[in-house]
Each structure stands twice: as structure tokens, then as C-alpha cells.
Amino acid sequence: MPRTEPSSLPLATGLRRLLLVVGILFLLLVLFLPRNSQEWLGQVGGPLALILEGPLRVMASIQDSVTGTWDHYVALQQVWEENQDLQRQIQELQGEQNRLREHAILALEFQKLSLYQEAAPMVTLPARIIGRNVSNWYRAMVIDKGTHDGIRQEMGVITDAGVVGRVVRVNSTTSIILLLSDPNVAITGMIQTSRDEGIIQGTPQGTIQMKYLPPLSSVQVGDAVVTSGLTDDFPRGLRIGKIQQITKAATDLFQLGEVTPIVDFSKLEGVLVITSFLPPISTESPTSGGTLPAPAGSP
């Protein structure tokens, strides 16, 4: 920052120069005038010097004060600039810290998906969520995988916790997933304890229902709901949620269950797209020669 002199500093300097010129002129007069004139000037110069001594000291004091004040101002200005630089560095470090925190959160999320992917009895492809759309018309997410990665329509989408939704539209590098809470998505579900089956479907309000439960079903609030594996989008036994409420009007043929999803759709960072899985394996009965269904949760 360029250093500028205060307005009082030139004034003090000019006055000192004027007094210096007067002193030189007085000295010249003493040297070149006749002796009697020199004596007279000496007699006059003594009191004059005493008279000028006070203003000179005052001006010197003022100049020293102005110089000290200016140096103090320059020092404060440098401290202020250093403080601004430190503030900028702190903001940059805070931004970098936030970016690293986000990377750590994403890394932890995908580490959980990777561990589940290794143990899951199906082939899945991890994908990152890059967009969301929750409106009155549909509830969807956009992932960063498409046809170039082997994604196709109607593929099921899950996390390590449970079912998320289904792929409905695919581009070359991205895909759109409709969530279970969307009324355009319907999958087959099953009460894990009673083995009663029904249709899992979203509502315009964003809730999830289990329709067509048998009227004599022993379903209860809190029962776990899993995929039945009767369609080719999800294998059997993947968690969907829990029964929160059961309703049945007098004129209804079936019971209706309201399901609380196991997955919090609003907090997802990544998902797994099911690209391939084997149908339930039937076990041949050693006595009758028939087949026994595979247990829930088996591929």
C-alpha cells in the first residue's frame, strides 16, 4: 500500500525550512556586516534566538508527534492487512474442511454399500444420486449410471437397509428412479411372520400402502414387510418396512396396511441397482419327490 504524508507534515517541514533560511541569512549578515553592525546584530540576535527557540521546539515536537502517529498508523494498517489475509486463509481452510467432510461422508456411505454388495446374493451396481424430484406429480431420483453401465428399465434399486424403488427411464449416462412412495410404483410384498402377500404401492400423499391383504390375515402393527420374490425386479426377503396401521372397512374384501419404509429416501447418497439375481431355488423333498420353497431371504 503506497505511503501518503499527512497534511500537517508538509506544513511543519516548510516552517522549519523557513526558519533555517532566516538563520542562514542572519549568519551571513553577522559575517559580512561591519563590526559595529555585527555587535548590534549580536545583541539583537540573542533575544531573537531565545524568542525563536520556543516555536522551533514546539514545531519539532509537533513533527515528532506527527511522525510517530504516522508510523503507528502504518503499523496498524499492516496489522489490518495481515488480519484480512488470515481471515481469507481461515475461510479457505473451512471450505476445504467442509469438502473433506463431505468426501468422508460419501466414502462411508459407499463403503457400507460395498460391504453389503459383497455379501448380497445378487449382482448389483453402485450408483451415486445426483438429483432429486419430489413433487405432487412424482417422487424420483437421478443416478449417475445409465445404459453404458448396463442399467435397464424395470431394474430394482436398493440400499444395504432395504428397497428404494425401480428404474423407469434410462439415458446413456444417467437413470431416473421412482421411489416406493410414488403411486406409479407397485411391487409384491409379504408379511414376514404370517407369510401373507400383498401389493406395495405409493400414494399421492407420499405414504406407502400394502394392498390386498387377506381378510383373515393375522397381520399386526409392527410386523416386518419384505419382498416376496414373485417378480423379476427384486429377490425374496429384501426389507421394505414395517406395518404402521391396519384398516378394513365393512364393505372391503381385503385389509389395507400402511407401511413405514425402512429406508429414509431423503437422506440417500448412493444406491445399488440390481442387475441380475437368481430366482428362488427349490429343494426336492426326499420323501415325496416334490419341491420345498426356499426360505425367506434366500436368492
CA distance 184 to 137: 10
Kindly list the domain boundaries of the chain, sorted by start residue: 1-119, 124-277
Q: What is the 3-state secondary structure (H, E, C) of 63-81?
A: HHHHHHHHHHHHHHHHHHH
In the predicted model, what is the mean pLDDT of residues 281-291?
45
Per-residue pLDDT at 144 exceeds 90: yes
Strand residue runs (E) in 34-185: 122-134, 139-143, 156-158, 163-170, 175-179
Amino acid at 56: L
Locate 120 and state its grid cell.
448380497
Query: What pLDDT sits at residue 287?
Result: 44
pLDDT tens per residue across span 165-188:
999 999 999 999 999 999 999 999
Of the chain, the percentage scoring pLDDT greater than 70 comes to 71
Strand residue runs (E) in 65-161: 122-134, 139-143, 156-158
Of the chain, the percentage scoring pLDDT greater than 90 comes to 41
Query: What pLDDT sits at residue 45?
Result: 56
Locate 71 and state its grid cell.
508510523
Pairwise pLDDT comparison (240 vs 46), residue with the higher score = 240
Closest by Cα among 244, 241, 247 to 261: 241
Return the residue matching grid coordinates 553577522: 30
Per-residue pLDDT at 207 exceeds 50: yes
In the predicted model, what is the mean pLDDT of residues 79-90?
84
CA distance 254 to 248: 7
- In this prediction, residue 96 has a pLDDT band, given cuts at 50, 70 and 90, of confident
Query: What pLDDT sits at residue 279?
Result: 52
Query: What pLDDT sits at residue 180?
Result: 95
pLDDT tens per residue across span 24-36:
766 666 555 555 5
Query: What pLDDT sits at residue 85?
Result: 85
Instruction: Supply the DSSP string of 229-297, one letter for each residue.
Output: --SSSS-TT-EEEEEEEEE--TT-SSEEEEEEESS-GGG--EEEEEEEEPPPPPEE-TTTS-EEPPPTT
Say if residue 142 is exposed, middle or buried (CB neighbours under 10 Å; 0-12, 13-18, 19+).
middle
Q: Which helix (H) or strand (E) holds 190?
A: strand 186-191
DSSP at 127: E
At the topology level, CATH places domain 124-277 in Thrombin, subunit H (2.40.10)
126 three-class SS: strand
Highest mean pLDDT among 44-53, 120-129, 247-256: 120-129
